[in-house]
Amino acid sequence: MHDPHSERMSSGETRAASGLALVFAFRMLGMFMVLPVLATYGMDLAGATPALIGLAIGAYGLTQAFLQIPFGVISDRIGRRPVIYGGLVIFAIGSVVAAQADSIWGVIAGRILQGAGAISAAVMALLSDLTREQNRTKAMAMIGMSIGVSFAVAMVVGPLLTRAFGLHGLFLATGVLALVGIALVAFVVPKATAHTRHRESGVARGEMLATLKHPDLLRLDLGIFVLHSILMASFVALPLALVERAGLPKEEHWWVYLTALVVSFFAMIPFIIYGEKKRKMKRVLLGAVATLMLVELFFWEFGSGLKALVIGTVVFFTAFNLLEASLPSLISKVSPAGGKGTAMGVYSTSQFLGSAMGGILGGWLFQHGGLGVVFIGCAALCALWLAIAVTMREPPYVTSLRLPLSPQAMRETGLAERLKTVPGVTDAVVVAEEAAIYIKLDKEILDRTALERLVNPAPTACEA
């Protein structure tokens, strides 16, 4: 039998985390593969205009943004699996609709349906049901890595698949990936014996107002909104710039993205290590936003040849990947005890709204002003973000922790207030309906094992 207190993941936890990470990866692969090709191949569709291409790129973000929190709440009531199965079926139907479309409006309808399969919150909730407290962070990190890898793979595989099979084949492939996700949930992911109500991975409606009023969380929400707006707008412009300015055939774009993603992955790692080890994440964030602004201006002024566009794309993805990796970590640090799940829900909604806004804005700007105006618009968004990010405080370098409470500990009054006086503990809140306490702590000051003994002391001989 597996030791319930072991820090190592059990075989069931490993299956759950890897299976759900693959479900996430396949679904996001289906979303992202369209990005590098729709601006170039989509213009052959009936009724296509740059503005409508932009709408097709960002359309999934609209339904995703509005449905992901409600789907998470529904999964609390009817179960995680029905919501996940239903969401993947909707995604597959959207893929078929887009694959069968001969007009841009058919592709837009398919993308809207793809976004309606909003299963992110339900998947994270199922992960909480299937993993123990001490291993949940590792499991969530596996999902985070799977999303990053799927983005990198999509940038390369999308152009290759479209070159071989056209947009119809690309969308059919995304539908197949959704069906593979259903098979993974059915046959690989273990069955959960109970639902875990967990404020670190799910939205607590009572925390929503406080989250929406939190200044530093709002700055980070604006950040991810702008970051994904810039990503989508740039993918209206970049593929067209490679064709029109650099003369690179659309069938050859895959190597530009492959080069940029491989180089940028290794280039960003030292900055993440510096920010975390030296506790200078604000400096790293501001530097990355400023770099993103400068690279958009570089595209505008100098992006007329292949060499310049490739160099710019490498720098763009270095700054983008650095910010994409840093912002969720900052949300975790800044959110109050017991508020991380709600904060991440609002953050994800902001991200998807940014994707929708970026596609629509990028297409509109290109149609009315050309490539240069898209790059100028992206630089202006970065400047706005930079002006607001400068005012944020250096984040606290703390870890979120949830500990179940024994009946004896639950009877104690003032437990959270007493814990806040312990050096290294920055926040604590008891949630009676979960019989648990949520704590924010600095691991360099406070040892987790010592904290667990403080929260649930071993019974004395007379109590035993």
pLDDT digits (tens, 9 = 90+) for 165-185: 999 999 999 999 999 999 999
Q: Which residue has the higher pLDDT, 26 or 445?
A: 26
Residue 459 predicted with pLDDT over 60: no
Query: What local confidence, expressed as pLDDT, does residue 7 receive?
Result: 67
pLDDT digits (tens, 9 = 90+) for 384-441: 999 999 999 999 888 888 888 888 878 778 888 888 888 888 888 888 888 888 888 8
Domains of the chain: 12-190+211-389 (1.20.1250.20), 399-455 (3.30.70.100)
pLDDT digits (tens, 9 = 90+) for 365-375: 999 999 999 99
Q: What is the mean pLDDT of residues 311-334?
A: 92
Query: What local confidence, expressed as pLDDT, does residue 72 receive?
Result: 85
Query: What local confidence, expressed as pLDDT, does residue 1 receive?
Result: 41
Residue 6 predicted with pLDDT over 70: no
Residue 25 predicted with pLDDT over 50: yes
Residue 205 predicted with pLDDT over 90: no
pLDDT digits (tens, 9 = 90+) for 440-452: 888 888 776 777 7
pLDDT digits (tens, 9 = 90+) for 58-99: 999 999 999 988 998 898 888 899 999 999 999 999 999 999
Residue with tokens 């069931």: 12
Q: How confident is the model at residue 3 (pLDDT cuts 50, 70, 90)?
A: low
